[in-house]
């Protein structure tokens, strides 16, 4: 019995560079939005305080921000073939065992993809930490 295992791989130099660029861009934009919101809230509080000092009421204008999310990692499709042999037992692989093999391979594929995402996330975070310590590294990217 042979079963293809096709999964999305994100472990490449291009994916790492893209992940770092995306993280820095999105983080900077979210920080900018947060600062805008803080300034807006401070202005609204000042207007409310001024209105209260004049004996008036002021209803604060509520503003919400939508933080940007990180983009999914760049992936490429990889294909492998998993082969199972009865080792000369001269018998067929039963339907139950075939189903079990397919389920196991699907679990393995999903775990493999999760593992690669975790590794790339770790690599991205480590590189960003190094960049924060040494700006020379950022110039090299």
Q: Place 62 in a pLDDT band, splitting at 50, 70 and 90.
A: confident
Domain count, the chain: 1
CA distances in angstroms from 67 to 84, 104, 117, listed in the order given: 48, 38, 22
**55 pLDDT exceeds 90?**
no
CB atoms under 10 Å from CB of 73, counted, come to 20
Q: Label residue 137 by pLDDT band (50, 70, 90).
A: low
How many helices (H) does the chain have, and how many strands (E)? 3, 2
Q: Which domain holds residue 89?
A: 2-140
Residue 16: is its pLDDT beyond 80? yes
pLDDT at 138: 58
């Amino acid at each position: 019995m042979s079963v293809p295992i096709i999964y999305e791989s994100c472990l490449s130099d291009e994916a790492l560079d893209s992940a770092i660029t995306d993280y820095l861009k999105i983080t900077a934009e979210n920080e900018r939005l947060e600062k805008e919101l803080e300034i807006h809230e401070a202005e609204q509080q000042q207007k409310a305080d001024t209105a209260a000092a004049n004996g008036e009421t002021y209803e604060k204008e509520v503003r919400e921000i939508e933080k940007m999310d990180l983009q999914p990692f760049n992936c490429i499709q990889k294909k492998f073939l998993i082969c199972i042999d009865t080792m000369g037992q001269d018998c067929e692989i039963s339907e139950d065992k075939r189903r079990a093999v397919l389920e196991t391979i699907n679990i393995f594929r999903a775990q493999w993809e999760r593992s690669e995402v975790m590794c790339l996330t770790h690599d991205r975070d480590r590189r960003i930490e190094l960049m924060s310590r040494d700006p020379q590294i950022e110039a090299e990217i």
